[in-house]
A and B are shown apart, each in its own frame.
Chain A
Amino acid sequence: MSTELGKAFARAKARGEGALVAYAMAGDPDLARSVDVFVAMVEGGADVLELGVAFSDPIADGPVIQAAAERALKAGATLRRVLDEVVPEVRRRCPETPLVIMTYVNVVMAMGEARYAKLARERGISGTILPDLPPEESAALRAAFDAEGVDLIPLCAPTTPPARAEGIAKDARGFVYCVSVAGVTGMRAELPANLSERLDLVRRAASVPVVAGFGISTGEQAKALVAHADGVVVGSALVKAAHADGPAAAKQLCADIKRGLKR
């Protein structure tokens, strides 16, 4: 796993906290202002930044992130421009925070997986999440990423049978992204009751940190999960806050969730 990601999780753990992986859409509302959102989230306590790169047909995303993707595409946020214009600026302003790209496999394929992996490493990207790339399809792409030391971070779903979940956890790079609800990204009032058991199972099998994501929007939810996960991913709630009220709102929400993540 990339050293940076490992260190970020270790730092949070040493402080007695779960890690916050904070997602925002690169290029929403435009490339420059999305940098301000990422920086504000780090100021609010985010341990890892997840930069969404927009795709026209985001089948794993709910309405909030889909709308953000449409805004980002209008603003010209291609993968190439995110790597050239957003990532270096975020790195400059938040040098300690590891960065992860989340996009769809077609966006990476269009650039070429080897070319992407090389550029990602050069720009300081620690890992990549591709929600439409299950393990069966990922071998060659992961080899290209491994060659550059960029982690291909796998997802595990509530519908994933236990043996398969263990396999995903054992082979994981970076961290395991445990999808908390059967569904697309987006805020939920309630998280499933059996989520903690699933997280425990994946955590036992994994040699890397395990985070829970999808549906998490409050410090209270984070508090309930931190006993069973090394951290949480928050996406739609931050995208919504930043879109409605700007970077300061995203910073505030990160701080609220970080309070919930204290053990």
Chain B
Amino acid sequence: MTTDTAAGRFGRYGGRYVPETLVPALMELEGAYAEAQRDAAFGAEVARVLREFVGRPTMLTPAHRLTESWGGAQVWLKREDLAHTGAHKINNTVGQVLLARRMGKKRIIAETGAGQHGVATATACALFGLPCEVFMGALDVERQALNVFRMRALGAVVRPVESGSRTLKDAMNEAMRIWVSQVEDTYYVIGSAAGPHPYPTIVRDFQAIIGKEIREQTQAAIGRLPDAIIACVGGGSNAIGALHPFIPDASVRLVGVEAAGHGLQSGQHGASLTLGTEGVLHGSRSLVLQDEHGQIQEAHSISAGLDYPGVGPELAHLAKTGRMEVRTATDDDALSAFYEVARTEGILPALETSHAFAAARGLARDMGKGKHLVINCSGRGDKDVATISARGVPPATGVKS
């Protein structure tokens, strides 16, 4: 099926596959966003909030001990974990909630998997005084108790979703269904660079601040662009944000890391770029995990932020055209990377980010000395401590017991 005339395409991917009820709202959003982009005052306000409230620019930290331990490229960490609320998600929610306010919307809905997007949306809503409802798979409500508390503390209503796999995919279905019935006054803040046009573009644009800062910061630190940037990919908002500003720079390797879960052969993973096939999920055409009959399969990852059976359409396009390299890391790889980073750099990365670290070791070694590798630290690991500690903590290092 070719639909070249449709807006919001990334090669074959993207588009707007939604009930007709939502099409006018998406067109309104497209128009409002284009207008906001032309308005210097809007851009200035987003920049001000990012600076004063979010804490941007986030640092680019040299990872001396990891660099030494891995024995390859010089490793740099882009510290989205230091952004307010502890993850990159806040960049996008601040932008979208300001956009919603500009559009005169009265309430905000969102969906969340690991809870970081829900927390970031609840935070932006609290900051700008808008009521907020967050749909969250019931399974994720159980395994992300800390973030559920944070959302409630911030004044948001958390609505557990019991259907399907009770995870992010089902929360997104439910948010779309609720949006269909309340579309007149409700703004749906999508958290990943996925969903129907114009969301993949809007989310990417608000997250591209990450890559823009990496450009400036590497120029300042090493006098040139990095040789590679690596980021984890669930829906892919941190990845497209970090990578997008470098797409024209052929010298920069762009690397995405997907969740291999229990292993790519196990059938329990979240590797939609690696093993997905072309399909339509949540309003856009992309690569999805599905069976031969077009039924969406449940994804698995130890990380609630990566067990999504789809991926943003632009990342699908970058992967298919070869501009982005795709690697995978299993649950066990991610766990072991979590402790390695904690104990060599003093940072507890989110389990999502741990996947990027797990694949970065091999990449750094492949690249070799004299090269520079940036790892996008999408978020901090506090929300995951219950999941991780349940598996037992390795003994302390360098201390006699």
How close is B6's CB to chain A, nearest CB, in angstroms?
5
User: Can you list 20 pairs linking A and B with CB atoms under 8 Å apart?
Assistant: A56-B296, A57-B173, A57-B282, A58-B173, A62-B177, A78-B295, A104-B280, A105-B280, A107-B294, A110-B279, A131-B20, A133-B17, A136-B3, A140-B1, A155-B19, A157-B19, A157-B24, A158-B21, A168-B20, A183-B21
Q: Using CB atoms and an 8 Å cutoff, list the residues of chain B in contact with chain A.
A: 1-3, 5-7, 15-25, 163-164, 169, 173, 176-177, 180-184, 278-283, 288, 290, 292-296
B138 to chain A, nearest CB (A): 15
CB distance from B320 to the nearest CB of A (A): 16
Q: Which 10 pairs from chain A and chain B are nearest by CB?
A: A110-B294, A183-B181, A157-B21, A78-B293, A107-B294, A157-B20, A106-B280, A56-B295, A60-B19, A56-B296
- Cβ–Cβ contact B24 & A161, under 8 A: yes
Is the beta-carbon distance between A59 and B177 smaller than 8 angstroms? yes
Assembly CA distance A183 to B20 (angstroms): 10
Q: Are A59 and B21 in contact (CB under 8 A)?
A: no
Chain B residues near A131: list those with CB within 8 A. Answer: 19-20
| CB-CB contacts below 8 Å: A6-37 with B | none
Residues of A within 8 A of B177 (CB): 59-62, 184
Chain A 146-172 interface 0/1 with B at a Cβ cutoff of 8 Å (1 = within):
000000001111111100100010000
Q: Would A106 and B16 be within 8 Å (CB), given that A59-B180, A159-B24 are in contact? A: no
> How distant is A181 from chain B, measured CB to nearest CB, in Å?
8
Q: Which of B181, B183, B293 contacts A110 (CB 8 A)?
A: B293
Taking CB atoms, residues of chain B closer than 8 Å to A108 are 294
Residues of B within 8 A of A55 (CB): 294-295
**Inter-chain contact B181/A109, CB cutoff 8 Å:** no
Q: Which of A121-139 contact B (CB under 8 A)?
A: 131-134, 136-137, 139
- CB neighbours (8 Å) of A113 from chain B are 1
Could you tell me if A132 and B181 are in contact, using CB atoms closer than 8 angstroms?
no
Q: How far is the CA of A136 from the CA of B173 in the complex (A)?
A: 22
Q: Which residues of B contact A41 (CB under 8 A)?
A: none
Chain A residues in the interface with B (C-beta under 8 A): 54-62, 66, 70, 73, 78-80, 104-111, 113, 131-134, 136-137, 139-141, 144, 154-161, 164, 168, 179, 181-184
Contact of A56 among B16, B20, B164 (CB under 8 A): B164
The answer to whether B283 and A132 touch across the interface, beta carbons within 8 angstroms, is: yes
When distances are taken between beta carbons in the complex, the residues of chain A under 8 Å from B281 are 57, 106
Q: Is the CB of A60 within 8 A of B164?
A: no
CB within 8 Å for A159 and B183 given contacts A56-B164, A59-B19, A132-B18: yes
A222 CA to B1 CA in the complex, in Å? 37
Chain A min CB distance to B37 (Å) = 22
For B290, list chain A residues within 8 Å (CB): 106, 110
- Whether A184 pairs with B173 at a CB distance below 8 angstroms is no
Interface contact B19-A132, CB-CB below 8 Å: yes
B180 touches A160 (CB 8 A): no
Contact at B5–A139, with CB atoms within 8 Å?
yes
Q: A60-B19, A136-B7 are in contact. List 7 more A-B contacts (CB 8 A).
A: A56-B296, A60-B180, A106-B281, A111-B294, A131-B20, A157-B23, A159-B21
